[in-house]
Each structure stands twice: as structure tokens, then as C-alpha cells.
Chain A
């Protein structure tokens, strides 16, 4: 190998090596940077998710307090008042006893329903059926829960979100819809859970702006949070239907 060859070898090999090393380093730095950025973004998304879950939990709790106050006043309060009137009117002891027994039973049911441990370990079905029973007991609305297919365990955070969405729907139905019937279906398919809630109330026009107060967007966003999809269909004087689809 002559001098000239050695020289060109040195030049070529150093150029090739230089380019190789520069490429490797830039690839490494680029991906490292991008990875950090993505991690940060994911961390932020996770935090946001946790916040939203907490918010839903707080709202569920607030709703529960409202229900307790309602039930104490409308149900147990009424029974106790009746007992008092019965005493004043010198009704038979048996009659008064029966009224008091009834109120005690209601009180026990309520206390069982709202104990924190019971609330924590409740499945979605139990939580919904608790609501349905309450609506029926207090004669708010005639409600029915149907479960189809093989029940599958879903994540408790997802359950919280679904329950909160349904609770909002129920509260809309009771407050605004003047409905007489409410039906809830939990349909477990092999790879899907479809939750439908339907009332036969006044309904509304989905295009009208004034219904933004009903929290429809909130329901949809909440569903999106747990990778589910919520749709609300409503027709004036026919009723409103909420469908949540969730991939198991």
C-alpha cells in the first residue's frame, strides 16, 4: 500500500466513522428527548384522570347526602309524624307499633345503604339497584334494572365514572323529565358492555342550547375518560335515552 492509499484510507475511514458516530448520537438524543416529553405528558394525563375520578366520587357523595336528607324528611319523618298522630288520636297500640316498626326498618335500610364500607365495596349493579329500589320505595318513578349476559368485573374507577354518569341522568329524569318509567339495562356481551338508561319523560331538543345545563357534555367527557362512549338521544314528549358502550 503506497503513501497515497494510506492517506485516502485514513480520510475515508475517519469520514465514515465520524458520520456514523454523529448519526448514532443524534438518534439517541432525539429519542431520549422525545421519550421524556412523552413521559411528562402521560404523567399529566394520569394526574388529570385521578382528579376527574375524585371529582366524580365527591359528586356521588354529595348526591348521597342529598338523598339521605330527602329520605329522612320524606320517608322516615313522615312515618314518625304518622306515629305521633296515631298516638294523639288514641289509635290501637298495634297500629302505632306497626308504624314505628316500619320506620325502624326504613331507618335500618338507609343506614345500611350509606355506611362507607358498603359504598366502597359496592359493584356497579348493586349501586344502580340501590338507586332503583330507592326510586320505587319513595314512589319517585317506576324503575327497573335488567342485567343481560354474563357479568364481568370491570375496573372500580370505571364503575365510579359510569355510576356518576347514570346518577346525573337519573337526577335529570327526576328533576326535569316528569317521567313515569325509567329502565336501565346492563348488557354484557363477550367483548362489550352496553349500558342503556331510558325514560319516558318530556325529552328535549338536542339542538337547543339551553340544555347545556343538563350536563350532557360532562357525561360524554366522563365516558371518554375511561375509553367508553356515551350517546344521548332525546325526542320531545317521547323520552330520553342514554347509551354507554364500553369495550371489555
Chain B
């Protein structure tokens, strides 16, 4: 019973990833002129990594921790690069470069021990929160605030903020209480966070309008 339930939750997360990727594909025309268009490829990459590549490595009895670790590093660098393209202020761009370098260094140091992999995630996620804050600040001081629900970058930022702000305490506390996060009960938390993440993506792709996505 417990294992069926756990499988159900895992596959639900894959299903969410697939749904977000399909919705992104359907609405691609609306944001094709902005750098958000790379999220289409990113979402499909996420789906393939989680659904095919990870299980395939597990099936071949290879260590699939590395698949996820590489994916984690690539995804954070992708977010940083995306914020680099959409943030206007030079000061913010400089900070992104500095944070990216710090992240890469810590990422390689942490890669020496599988136990430390989670810290790379925490660091990467914290940096994403900082950059998301910059972007929200930028949106805040623009006329986009009036029609914020049509702005795709706002929804992506909301998705990233909510997911990462939940993931950080989740990872740190599970380490503190020394519990295994793969446990079916704890998967519920992961599942809820994924609903928030992909839910925001799906809302964003559905609601966005073409004229609000041109940078």
C-alpha cells in the first residue's frame, strides 16, 4: 500500500512536468520573442531527465545521483542566465556573474561527496531567490505592475520563489531531523511544492499575452 502510494506520488510529479511542458508548447507563440522561450526546452529537458534518464540509470544499476546532480547544476545556471538576460540594471547583472561563479565553485567542491549534494541545491536555490527578488523589484517599478498577471516572467519568478523558498527549509530540516526524504510521507511535501511550481508555470503560460513578452 505504502509503495503504491509512493509510486503514485512520484509519477504525479512526472505528470506535472509533462503537463507544464505541453502547456508551454501550446502557448509557445505568445512568448517566442522573449528569452522565456528557452523555458520550453528546459521543461522538456526536466521531464526527460526525471522520467527517462534517471530511471534508465537506475535500471542499468548506475548511480543516478549524478544525473540529478548535473541536472541541478545546469538548471540553476540556466535560471541565472535567464535572469541575466531579463534584468536591466548593470549592477544586478554584475551580481549575477559573481553569484554564478560562487555557485560553480561550491558546486564542484560539493560534488566530491554525495552527502553534500543537497547543499549545492540550498546554495543554488538561495541565489535564485536573490535574483528573483531583483526581478520582482524591476517589475515593481514598471508599468507591468498594472497587468502583472499577463507577464510570463512574473509567473516563472513566482514559481521559482515559492518552490525554492519551500525546498530550502525542507532540505535543511530533513537533514537536521535525520530523516530520509524519499520516504512516502515526505514525498507529499515534495509533491505539494511541485504542484505550486508547475501550477504557477501552467498559469503563466496560459494567461500570458504576447505584447507583454518582448524582452
Q: What sequence of 0s and 1s flags, for each residue 167-207 of chain B, a beta carbon within 8 Å of any chain A beta carbon?
A: 00110011001010001011011001100100000000000
Q: B185 contacts which of A5, A11, A23, A42 (Cβ < 8 Å)?
A: A5
CB distance from B193 to the nearest CB of A (A): 7
In the complex the two chains form, what is the Cα distance from A110 to B86 in whole Å?
59
Q: What sequence of 0s and 1s flags, for each residue 1-12 of chain A, a beta carbon within 8 Å of any chain B beta carbon?
A: 100110011011
Does B140 have its Cβ within 8 Å of any Cβ on chain A?
Answer: yes
Q: Are B162 and A13 in contact (CB under 8 A)?
A: no
Residues of A within 8 A of B145 (CB): 31, 34-35, 38
Of residues 91 through 147 on chain B, the ones whose CB sits less than 8 Å from some CB of chain A are: 136, 140, 143, 145-146
Residues of B within 8 A of A9 (CB): 179, 185-186
The A interface is mostly helix, strand or loop, or mixed, namely helix
**What number of A-B contacts does a CB cutoff of 8 Å give?**
63
The total of chain B residues at the interface (CB under 8 A) is: 25
In the complex the two chains form, what is the Cα distance from A82 to B140 in whole Å?
72
Does A93 have its Cβ within 8 Å of any Cβ on chain B?
Answer: no
Q: What sequence of 0s and 1s flags, for each residue 147-176 of chain A, a beta carbon within 8 Å of any chain B beta carbon?
A: 000000000000000000000000000000
Residues of A within 8 A of B170 (CB): 12, 16
Q: Are B173 and A5 in contact (CB under 8 A)?
A: no
Residues of A within 8 A of B146 (CB): 35, 38-39, 42
In the complex the two chains form, what is the Cα distance from A214 to B63 in whole Å?
81
The B interface is mostly helix, strand or loop, or mixed, namely helix
Residues of A within 8 A of B25 (CB): none
Q: A16 contacts which of B143, B166, B177, B179 (Cβ < 8 Å)?
A: B166
Given A35-B145, A38-B145: A12 in contact with B173 (beta carbons within 8 A)? yes
Q: Are A20 and B162 in contact (CB under 8 A)?
A: yes
Q: Are B196 and A20 in contact (CB under 8 A)?
A: yes
Q: Are B177 and A11 in contact (CB under 8 A)?
A: yes
Residues of B within 8 A of A19 (CB): 165-166, 169
Does B148 have its Cβ within 8 Å of any Cβ on chain A?
Answer: yes
Q: Are B158 and A27 in contact (CB under 8 A)?
A: yes
Residues of A within 8 A of B183 (CB): 1, 5
In the complex the two chains form, what is the Cα distance from A228 to B12 in whole Å?
56
Q: Are B169 and A12 in contact (CB under 8 A)?
A: yes
Does B161 have its Cβ within 8 Å of any Cβ on chain A?
Answer: yes
In the complex the two chains form, what is the Cα distance from A237 to B183 in whole Å?
90
Does A24 have its Cβ within 8 Å of any Cβ on chain B?
Answer: yes
CB distance from B196 to the nearest CB of A (A): 7
CB distance from A23 to the nearest CB of B (A): 5
A4-B177, A9-B185, A12-B179 known; 14 other A-B pairs, CB under 8 Å?
Answer: A5-B185, A12-B173, A12-B177, A13-B188, A16-B170, A16-B193, A19-B169, A20-B166, A23-B162, A23-B165, A24-B162, A31-B145, A39-B146, A42-B146
**Residues of B that sit less than 8 Å from A by CB:** 136, 140, 143, 145-146, 148, 158, 161-162, 165-166, 169-170, 173-174, 177, 179, 183, 185-186, 188-189, 192-193, 196
19 contacts between A and B (CB under 8 A): A1-B185, A4-B177, A5-B179, A8-B173, A9-B179, A12-B173, A12-B174, A13-B188, A13-B189, A16-B192, A16-B193, A20-B166, A20-B193, A23-B162, A23-B165, A27-B161, A34-B145, A35-B146, A42-B146
Rank and list the top 9 A-B pairs by shortest CB-CB distance, nearest first: A8-B177, A12-B173, A16-B166, A20-B166, A34-B145, A15-B169, A16-B170, A9-B185, A35-B145
